[in-house]
Amino acid sequence: MGENDVTAAGTAEVLALAEATPRRLALSTAGMDDARLCQPPAPGEWSALDILNHLRACEEVWMHSVQAMLAHDTPSLKEIHPRQWIRTLSPYTTQSFASSLQVFTLRREALLITLRALSPADWARQGRLDRQTHTVYSHVRRMVQHEEVHCDQIDPQFNVKSE
């Protein structure tokens, strides 16, 4: 089996990671004030707020693709880069970390309702993003793995040991 093949264990892992991300962000940043959360750890690096905004943008653009895969048979979509989304269309870059995390958490709860209701056939539905074929599973898996990388960037900023 390939790493993007839909299995019960694979979807359970993806769901667990998707559920854990908002909680991990909250625990990593608990008790920190907005000034600290907006401060990059070093020049050229992203602050915790920058990372959270990036994760929100990733979820918004990538889940748009997932919704299209669920609603249409093998849609052809143009992939939108999350950084482009933040620069040109983002309605949230002026929000505080707490407000952004609250919105991220609520959107994630809504997403999890959708994902938990999917059948194996739904997880295997496909779409073409630019020239690459993705499934609902591979796209959501990509998102949660990407989130793990960015959570790993936040943890050391606040002396949190990742699990």
pLDDT of residue 101: 96
pLDDT of residue 97: 94
> By the 8 A CB rule, do 119 and 137 touch?
no
pLDDT of residue 3: 64
pLDDT of residue 155: 80
Give the mean pLDDT per block of 10 residues along the chain (163 residues). Answer: 81 97 95 92 92 92 92 90 71 84 96 97 94 93 95 82 58
- Rounded Cα distance between 52 and 139, Å, is 19
Supply the CATH classification number for the domain 8-157: 1.20.120.450
**Residue 89 half-sphere exposure, CB side, CA atoms within 13 Å?**
11
pLDDT of residue 157: 78
Domain limits, the chain = 8-157
> By the 8 A CB rule, do 65 and 129 touch?
yes
